[in-house]
Amino acid sequence: MSRVWAVSSNGLHKHISVTPSHLQDVLNIMRNCFFKEESVSRAIGLNKSPEAILELDELVLDILENGVSVIAVEEKTGRVAGSLLNKII
């Protein structure tokens, strides 16, 4: 069970801690949104390098091991709508 940190003001999303069951959803968001749309990623053509994507997948998994990352989940569908990756260093 994930810890619920907050619920959006309109009640459509809850913000919860990432659990192992969410790993694939977080990776999909990173691959399909961040790696394609983030400014630096676009500038260096990150999405065109399978090797770079695999390395970033590993980085994401390393970050998630800290247990301090959060996802936004749609209340009605349970679909992961976004992620916030945090790492304690």
Domain span holding position 53 = 4-84
Q: How far is it, in rounded angstroms, from Cα 2 to Cα 41?
A: 30
In a domain, 31, yes or no: yes
Query: Sheet holding 80-84: strands in order across?
Result: 4-7, 13-17, 70-74, 80-84
Give the mean pLDDT of 48-55.
Answer: 92
Write the CATH number for 38.
3.40.630.30
Residue 1: predicted pLDDT: 66
Give the mean pLDDT of 60-66.
Answer: 92
Give the mean pLDDT of 46-64.
Answer: 92
Q: What is the number of structural domains in the chain? A: 1
In a domain, 89, yes or no: no
Q: Quick check: 89 pLDDT over 90?
A: no
In a domain, 38, yes or no: yes
In a domain, 20, yes or no: yes
For residue 30, report the phi and psi dihedrals to the nearest 5 degrees: -60, -45
Largest interatomic CA distance in the chain: 40
Give the residue ranges of DSSP H helices in 1-89: 23-29, 35-37, 39-43, 50-64
For residue 10, report the phi and psi dihedrals to the nearest 5 degrees: -90, 0
Give the mean pLDDT of 28-43.
Answer: 92
Model pTM score = 0.84
